[in-house]
């Protein structure tokens, strides 16, 4: 029966576009999420056009076969992990840049384009794609849209949703629909673009994306700021945001343990590696003198707020070096501490110091190791619990469960949310009820069944069993 389905897929899409050999497709049974087990799919289909995606969904809907969309598989919530007897649709071969419209400052792309490529092409045209997840060199824009990816430039430019103007989507029933377009404003009917962005591949498969580009900032400077105390560093963020009159493009945080991961991964060091933590600021301006004035003022203010030192990188090479370091933290964790749990809680910015400080107590109480890094300027921190080397698996699992419960309870008390950018997926669905009421969940489920009456598109994700 299962092999019959695979044969049908081969007939429909050709053997060059379907893989089913277990060894070859084993890597499609997981993403970058630690601790979430998947199934080897029945097959992986590699469409090259919207028509093929539509044909696949029509077939799957008729046969009631589950389909799991997949971009580059860098997800951190298990969203692209297949459930039993499902077919993975990998969008990696739909990777064309369709149009860059300089005058309207838009770019139209297929979902499999790697985000960093969009950034580069925009830059070559003197423009800027402001979506910048730390995985920009490896994640696809389709995955960014499905997760509403954030990253290191959210304070100033917003998450992916702020850059998406239009979408082409294949519905679970196979119909192709278009939402939005190239206009910056559009209130003709409901905002379907915003509904689909962040829907984690459960409502439809995104096959084309119209993205907004903005003018490229002429000058930028990155400030790397070590602190002797974590609380000092964290308390200055909301103060600076509300009182300095500046809107930095980024304010990132990494504690000492996080820096050690990046350092080990890159075999590189940063100034003051012994500091308890570092903040990273990026300022942008169209005027060089203005930028210098702003970073000097910011640096002085930070020194008054107990920073140990302020390092300024205002040439591109130095700036890139700092960002490369910051972006390597998650890769270091995945490489050196594979048994971990990377969280993605988000709280209103001013509540973030309390949240981060509490995580060290939550971990210590249970003998766990923890590190914190992330986008403190937008209240989003990747609290990461690590299994101590000698801890038995069963003890780790129990301690982790308790630690997560306490972390989420604290997040709720601080008016926060379960996930800021990584999504619910498989990893967090059992905690959804701590953050959403029954009515909200019911409305969301009704939306899901409106688009996907047979529950064939990415089933088992987001909603608790
Ligand atoms: C080292 C590292 C750093 C990271 N840093 C960040 C960060 O700073 N900010 C951030 O937000 N995330 C970050 N992530 C998480 C991850 O990169 C993002 O969630 C990214 O958006 C996933 O893109 P992807 O192409 O890998 O998607 P996948 O992992 O393949 O899929 C993710 C979800 O999108 C769905 N999907 C994929 N393509 C489509 C499509 N065309 N249509 C419909 N649904 C689709 C899948 O079903 C799944 O639910 C990081 C991950 C790693 C490993």
Determine how many CB atoms are found less than 10 A away from the CB of residue 15.
10
CA dist 197 and 461 (Å) reads: 16
Decide the pairing of beta strands 43-45 and 18-19: antiparallel
Across the range 138-143, mean pLDDT stands at 98
Task: Tokens for 455, please give them.
Answer: 């529950």
Q: What's the pLDDT tens digit per position in 255-311? A: 999 999 999 999 999 999 999 999 999 999 999 999 999 999 999 999 999 999 999
Task: Tokens for 150, please give them.
Answer: 């954030």
DSSP assignment of 31-56 equals -S-TT------SEEE---SHHHHHHH
**Ligand 1, atom nearest to 145 Cα:** 21
- Taking the centre of ligand 1 as the mean of its atom positions, its distance from the CA of residue 161, in whole angstroms, is 14
Mean pLDDT computed over every residue of the chain: 97
Across the range 84-112, mean pLDDT stands at 97
Q: What's the pLDDT tens digit per position in 31-50? A: 999 999 899 999 999 999 99
CA dist 398 and 366 (Å) reads: 9
Q: Ligand 1 pocket, 76 CB below 6 A? A: yes
Alpha carbon 70 to its chain centroid, in Å, reads: 14
Q: What's the pLDDT tens digit per position in 218-231? A: 999 999 999 999 99
The residue whose CB lies within 8 Å of the most ligand 1 atoms, and thus the one to mutate among 38, 146, 148, is 146
Across the range 51-77, mean pLDDT stands at 98
Q: Ligand 1 pocket, 142 CB below 6 A? A: yes
Q: What's the pLDDT tens digit per position in 414-453? A: 999 999 999 999 999 999 999 999 999 999 999 999 999 9
The protein residue whose alpha carbon is closest to atom 5 in ligand 1 is 134
Q: What's the pLDDT tens digit per position in 322-349? A: 999 999 999 999 999 999 999 999 999 9
Q: What's the pLDDT tens digit per position in 352-384? A: 999 999 999 999 999 999 999 999 999 999 999
- Taking the centre of ligand 1 as the mean of its atom positions, its distance from the CA of residue 439, in whole angstroms, is 28
- Taking the centre of ligand 1 as the mean of its atom positions, its distance from the CA of residue 75, in whole angstroms, is 4
- Taking the centre of ligand 1 as the mean of its atom positions, its distance from the CA of residue 143, in whole angstroms, is 4
Q: What pLDDT score does 1 carry?
A: 67
State the DSSP code for 231.
Answer: H
Helix (H) or strand (E) holding 192: helix 192-196
Contact 11, 59 (CB under 8 A): no
Q: What's the pLDDT tens digit per position in 160-204? A: 999 999 999 999 999 999 999 999 999 999 999 999 999 999 999
Q: Using CB atoms within 10 Å of the CB of residue 245, give its burial: 0 to 12 exposed, 13 to 18 middle, 19+ buried.
A: exposed
Determine how many CB atoms are found less than 10 A away from the CB of residue 405.
13
The protein residue whose alpha carbon is closest to atom 11 in ligand 1 is 149
Across the range 116-145, mean pLDDT stands at 97
Task: Tokens for 39, please give them.
Answer: 């199934």
Q: What domains are there in the chain, each with its CATH number?
A: 2-90 (3.30.43.10), 97-215 (3.30.465.10), 217-335 (3.30.70.2190)
Q: What's the pLDDT tens digit per position in 277-292? A: 999 999 999 999 999 9
Confidence of residue 3 (pLDDT cuts 50, 70, 90): confident
Q: Ligand 1 pocket, 111 CB below 6 A? A: yes
The residue whose CB lies within 8 Å of the most ligand 1 atoms, and thus the one to mutate among 45, 53, 71, is 71
């Amino acid at each position: 029966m299962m092999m019959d389905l695979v044969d049908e897929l081969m007939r429909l899409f050709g053997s060059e576009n379907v893989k089913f050999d277990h060894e070859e497709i084993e890597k499609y049974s997981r993403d970058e999420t630690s601790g979430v087990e998947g199934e080897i799919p029945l097959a992986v289909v590699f469409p090259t056009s919207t028509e093929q995606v539509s044909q696949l969904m029509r077939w799957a809907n008729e046969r009631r076969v589950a389909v799991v969309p997949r971009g580059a598989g860098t997800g951190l919530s298990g969203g692209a992990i297949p459930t039993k007897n499902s077919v993975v649709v990998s969008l990696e071969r739909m990777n064309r840049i369709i149009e860059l419209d300089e005058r309207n400052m838009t770019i139209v792309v297929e979902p499999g384009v790697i985000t960093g490529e969009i950034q580069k092409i925009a830059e070559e045209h003197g423009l800027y794609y402001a979506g910048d997840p730390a995985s920009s060199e490896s994640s696809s824009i389709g995955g960014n849209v499905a997760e509403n990816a954030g990253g290191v430039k959210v304070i100033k430019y917003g998450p992916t949703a702020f850059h998406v103007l239009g979408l082409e989507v294949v519905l679970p029933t196979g119909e192709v629909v278009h939402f939005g377009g190239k206009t910056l404003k559009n209130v003709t009917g409901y905002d379907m673009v915003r509904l689909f962005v962040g829907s984690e591949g459960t409502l439809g498969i995104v096959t084309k994306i119209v993205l907004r580009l903005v003018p490229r900032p002429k000058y930028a400077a990155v400030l790397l700021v070590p602190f002797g105390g974590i609380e000092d560093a964290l308390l200055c963020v909301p103060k600076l945001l509300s009182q300095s009159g500046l809107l930095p493009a980024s304010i990132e945080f990494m504690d000492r343990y996080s820096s050690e991961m990046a350092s080990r991964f890159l075999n590189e060091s940063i100034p003051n590696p012994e500091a308890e933590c570092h903040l990273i600021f990026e300022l942008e301006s169209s005027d060089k003198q203005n930028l210098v004035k702003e970073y000097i003022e910011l640096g002085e203010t930070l020194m008054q707020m107990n920073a140990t030192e302020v390092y300024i990188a205002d040439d591109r090479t130095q700036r890139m070096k700092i960002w490369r370091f910051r972006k390597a933290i998650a890769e270091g964790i995945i490489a050196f501490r594979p048994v971990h749990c990377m969280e993605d809680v988000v709280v209103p910015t001013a509540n973030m110091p309390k949240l981060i400080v509490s995580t060290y107590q939550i971990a210590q109480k249970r003998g766990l190791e923890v590190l914190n890094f992330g986008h403190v300027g937008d209240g989003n921190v990747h609290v990461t619990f690590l299994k101590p080397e000698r801890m038995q698996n069963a003890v780790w699992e129990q301690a982790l469960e308790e630690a997560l419960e306490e972390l989420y309870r604290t997040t709720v008390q601080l008016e926060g949310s379960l996930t800021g950018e990584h999504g619910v997926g498989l990893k967090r669905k059992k905690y959804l009820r701590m953050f959403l009421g029954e009515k909200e969940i019911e409305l969301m489920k009704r939306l899901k069944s409106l688009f996907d009456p047979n529950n064939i598109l990415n089933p088992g994700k987001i909603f608790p069993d």
